[in-house]
Structure 1
């Protein structure tokens, strides 16, 4: 365990901070304003995509002062790995979805496969309209044909961690967004 902690501390010490806490707060303020404008009269069901969406969902919810409901899904392509393949559903929401406006909040929009599968599931369950929000939009050309409705910040194509995103299970708790040091 000591070796793992030392290795993780070395990763963090060598990492580049790409998005500061102040930049995240500013992005969340803008996202909160737009979400409020669009959804304040709809009594939306806000869905946190666990585990990565936990921190961004909390940050966005703090900026919303209108009636809403909160639930979560747990669907992952990564597990505790740094690369993912097929989507695995670990938990479905318990709230009635039919005819509801849904806001799905996740940590990162990378290629879009996970978010697309989650959107499709909600549509199949009878959701009225599905909106999506991610704190990060990773910039590259490997995306599917989908764009989140609300995006916090755009970040270069590197392995990211912090503010909900993990590195081998660690660092979701960091207030900034970091990238593994290029070698």
Structure 2
């Protein structure tokens, strides 16, 4: 990747640079790193990302940073699963899933006032699980599932259906998979 820019990029020029940078990145890039590279504040980057998303650019904010979702880069199977556990089992849950080669795309809970609340997770391996949980601990944030007595949904993605089925079997064996309707 290129190093920091020598001058401060303004408005549209900066957003185009950010978009190209994310498209060429192999993984998530933090807002702080993007701010340093473009000589602006992190808050400016957050605003830029909001504007790019409003243009339907497939950018998501993960716990590891911003990520450009490449359409059709590989065909992935996507399934929704229901889980229920206490917060102390979150690491076990995610490790079971990623150990089967499956990505935890997000978490969804049903709030009595706001309806469905969805948050991006995007973890695919134990290192990313650890980084996600460290971020939760360092910010004293709560898991969304704490709003719903541990009941929550995950969207999972994998290269094939069998990987997700194997992860579900392991979650069920661990007592984490909620009863399916």
Give the TM-score, by structure 1 length: 0.24
Give the TM-score, by structure 2 length: 0.24
Greater percentage in strand: 1
Greater percentage in helix: 2
Larger Rg over CA atoms:
2
